[in-house]
Amino acid sequence: MNGNYQLTNVEAQRVMAVLDELALDLRLAFRLTPQTLSTNPDIASIVGQENERFFVMQVELEKRFFVLAAQLEGPVSEFVADAENDTQDAVVHDFFDVARRLRKNTREICRFLRRNPGLDKKLQAQQQQPAELAERFIVVLNDLKAQTLRSLGTSVEEDKSEKEHFENVSVREKTLTEQERMLTKDLATVKRDREKAVKARDAQIATLEAEKAELQMMTANAGKAVGEGNNANEKTDHASEVESLEKKKKKLEDELAKTKASDKDSEEGLKKRSYKKETDVETWVQKYDAEMGTLNEEMTSLAEVYLAEKAKMRQLENHFEGFRLVEGAEAAQQMMQMANELEETAKQKRLGDAACLIQSTLRGHKGRENFQKSKKKGGKKGGKKKK
């Protein structure tokens, strides 16, 4: 990945949403370990009679999963179908089926615990010390959340768009799950009603068969008792009654065949609709898991890039800090040199000014002496003329 790549606001929000949901699911999953379920035989007292089946099924599926995993001859990703090894093919098929049911049941339990936070507190009170690897994984997950939060700068429009997208996906998933549940329930109801109708018709046919056999026996006994004289009329009446019963039986059998065909068509249609809904849910779940895996890889790569850039930044800061110390020392040395030069210039100026002052003073004294001398000479010349 490019080191200069920056997460967009929408991507950062998606990462945060995925991390929050993953952290919550992991916390609930760590609450509901096989040890916790095995130490609580009376699960119904905690979760209620109507929800007990999910937790009992979780324990059974986990046991079945470990048994099948131990029977595998190699990694599932490297499995190749072999006509000569039917046993391993059946084990792999059962393994995938149990894994799918286990994932689905785990999601249902996590959703149930989200809707009932009080149960989470009860399980937390009964939970043993969590594993060290689980705690470390949650700490790393929280660090990634904090790092993503620091780089998040989402606008109002992007917040709204991401929230609507997440709500749409959640609503779509809930709708598909509810539709699948309703179709499964309808299929079971229709199948149960059809089976009751078929059993009722079978019982009616059996009753008619018994009545027919009884009438035949009564007719035979009556023929023997009365004699051969009235046997012809009784046989005619008996034949008419038997024919009527045969027609009624045939009519009921035709109705039963039509009902079975109609029930079979309805059941096939409901099965197809249920399979389609379940396939759609699996597709969305696989797509969601794939996107989460990609985001997890990008997040790991970004964390590595961030640490590398942080180390490089610290190295550059130390490097430039050394440069700043060297430049400061050179600047201080230059200032000292300039101060010395200024002091020397001021000293030379003071010496020059003092020399000029001394010279001016000497010239003044010398001028005064010359003036006194000239004044004295002038006085002498004037005295001679008077004589």
Asked whether 179 and 277 are in contact (CB, 8 A), the reply is yes
23 in any annotated domain: yes
Identify the pLDDT of residue 242.
Answer: 85
Both tokens of residue 321?
């800090």
Question: What is the tens place of the pLDDT at every residue in 297-306?
Answer: 888 888 888 8
Match 């009932």 to its residue by tokens: 116
Average pLDDT value for the chain: 77
- Whether the predicted pLDDT of 386 surpasses 50: no
Which range, of 175-179, 220-224, 318-322, 323-327, averages the lowest pLDDT?
Answer: 220-224
Residue 135 CA to residue 146 CA, distance in Å, equals 17
Q: Evaluate whether residue 65 is within a structural domain.
A: yes
Summarised one tens digit per residue, pLDDT across range 158-167 is 667 767 888 8
pLDDT in the model for residue 79: 58
Residue 387 pLDDT: 42
Give domain status of residue 1, yes or no: no
Q: Is the pLDDT of residue 22 over 80?
A: no
Q: Residue 1: pLDDT band by 50, 70, 90 thresholds?
A: very low
Q: What is the mean pLDDT of residues 130-150?
A: 74
The string of pLDDT tens digits covering residues 184-202 is 888 888 888 888 888 888 8
Higher-confidence residue of 10 and 217: namely 217
The total number of structural domains in the chain stands at 1
Q: Considering the domain boundaries, does residue 64 fall inside one?
A: yes
C-alpha closest to that of 69 among 96, 87, 30:
96
Burial class (CB in 10 A: 0-12, 13-18, 19+), 280: middle
Flag whether 227 is in a domain: no
pTM of the model: 0.31
In a domain? residue 52: yes
Residue ranges making up the domain that contains 109: 10-155
More confident residue, 127 or 134: 134
Question: Residue 172 falls within a domain, yes or no?
Answer: no
Rg, C-alpha atoms of the chain: 53
The residue-averaged pLDDT of 304-325 equals: 83
CA nearest to 296, candidates 6, 15, 83:
15
Whether 352 is in a domain gets the answer: no
